[in-house]
Amino acid sequence: MGMEEKAPEYEYSKVPTKAMIAEIPEKPPAYGYGVRHVQLLICLLSLTVNFIARGHLGVTVVAMTSPRDHALALDTNTSTNTNYIENITISNISIDGVPSMDSTEVSFKRFDWPKSTQEMVLGAFFLGYCIMTFPMGIVAQRWGGKIPLQIALFFNGVISLLTPWLTNWGGWKAVCACRIIQGLSQAGVYPSIQTLLAKWVPVSERASLTSYVYTGSIVGTVLAFQLSGFLSESKWGWPSAFWVVGLICLVSFALLTVFGSASPAVHKTISDEEKNFILGRIDDGKVRRLKTPWKAILRSKPLWGTLATHVGSGTSFVFFFTQVPSYIHYILGVDVRSSGLLSSLPYIVSFFTNITFGTLSDFMTNRNIISVRNARRIFNSISQVGVAISLICAAFTTSTVVGVLCLVCSMGCHMAMHVGWMVNHIDLAPNFSGTLMSIGNTLMNILNVLLPVLVSYVVTDMKNQIQWRIMFFTVAALTLTTNALFLVLMSADTQPWNDVDECDTSLEDAEIKQKRETKEKQ
């Protein structure tokens, strides 16, 4: 027999792929305006429209309800109305009894709902929101940030269009059911926005672009108040507010569906240069199915520092904007909600401070004036300490001007949270930022549900300033304590558990990972 030939041994490797990966620079060159700005504009639009759908009922419900004394006054001004509480026919008469220039008749119901029922209607949204906050965060993590936003816009649009007819049929119970469904669908908005920001915003623009997108919550709230007030006073009455909001939601849903993209990796027209600039060294541009490392997440000290200030920040904000106006009304004798200027001023100020904080943070970190970690600490402290000082000052003031200024300063300082703990979720784990946001929101919602109970227990006399001071100091102490935990525990570095083994890992990914681990050992 002849000598057996020994087959040569070859080491399998994908040389071209490795070469291409090696060619990617450690810091890709900066890229100007591009696809990412279009995507973030869509995020801004989606957040704005969701807040319009969320907030407009606060004004619309006033037009839906009719105090009996107002009803009697109107009944003397028109002979076509036999039961004002049940049905109103507008014919050459406006709601205030002023002759109208339009002869078109429009009929719609008004309802005799007591204050307790109105509060139940307004609070129904947050019941659904709290229930689905954590599950929708998992959805955003599993299927990307685009789908939960589509769910929110579509369901809010359809429900808004149907609400007037359902209200005529089922009264306040139908409105509560509609608002619960809207809250359920909107529970994934913030986790989705966080997920999309983590995918589309490069590190060097993280603070500024994040703050720009989150101005949508401010713009949406202001537009909700103004739009619903204008439409409710029109000849079409309060139903038109729901119809217009519904149409806006569906148009935004269409724009998001056609032009929105979950990440640069799946976008069809983005250039390689911009994709590399966005992704940097965090991701290789592939669509991966990541398993959530729950054990590592729950053991992460930096995360618990961020979650602590997340809860403290959210609780103080809710307290300031639900209870402080009542304090100013009963103690200082000013109804902030009834004044258009006073109610809009905090939002106007916060719009500009929000953009300023984001731009300033990126300016200082990109020029190495301060580290990213210290930037997060400084701006988070501005947010939390500013709110705490405003609470303490409001508790002792007897001046109306000082009380209103405290309200405005609190809102203005609070916007620094967008470049504090909120963007820190993305710092810690870009791959799981939506999940981290949903965890924080769930904890915050639990505390916010208990907050009114605590207030009613402590403040038994709305005109007793001493009782209000106890509540103010309690919330201020919570805010300062959680901020201190953030300062001690926080980190701006990407955590090791951000990069976990994915399902169906390819040979190429395994080789790259092995090479990286070998270099780290050396």
Reduced DSSP (H G I as helix, E B as strand, rest coil) percent helix, strand, coil of the chain, to 5:
70, 0, 25
Q: Which of 442, 421, 470, 437 is nearest to 319 (CA)?
A: 470
Tokens 């930096």 belong to residue: 302
Supply the angle between the helices 189-200 and 115-143 in degrees, to the nearest 10: 30
- Would you say residue 407 has pLDDT above 90? no
Residue 12 banded pLDDT, cuts 50, 70, 90: very low
How much is the pLDDT for 76? Answer: 34
Helix (H) or strand (E) holding 88: strand 88-90
How much is the pLDDT for 86? Answer: 38
- Would you say residue 512 has pLDDT above 70? no
88: left (phi over 0), alpha (psi -120 to 50) or beta: beta
How much is the pLDDT for 370? Answer: 93
How much is the pLDDT for 397? Answer: 83
For the segment 104-124, the average pLDDT, to the nearest whole number, is 73
Q: Which residue has the higher pLDDT, 337 or 217?
A: 217
Question: What are the pLDDT digits (tens) for 182-201?
Answer: 999 999 999 999 999 989 98
DSSP assignment of 399-428, as one string?
A: -HHHHHHHHHHHHHHHGGGGGTHHHHHHHH
Q: Hey, what domains does the chain have and what are their CATH numbers?
A: 32-65+111-289 (1.20.1250.20), 293-496 (1.20.1250.20)
- Would you say residue 84 has pLDDT above 60? no
The whole-chain average pLDDT of the chain stands at 79
Q: How far out from the chain centre does Cα 522 lie?
A: 44
For the segment 253-261, the average pLDDT, to the nearest whole number, is 94
pTM of the full structure: 0.77
Q: What is the rounded CA–CA span in Å between residue 394 and residue 460? A: 19
Amino acid at 112: D
How much is the pLDDT for 62? Answer: 80
Residue 168 banded pLDDT, cuts 50, 70, 90: confident
Residue 516 banded pLDDT, cuts 50, 70, 90: low
- Would you say residue 254 has pLDDT above 60? yes
Q: Which of 195, 151, 194 is nearest to 53 (CA)?
A: 151
Cα–Cα distances (Å) from 430 to 64, 199, 492, in that order, read 44, 7, 11
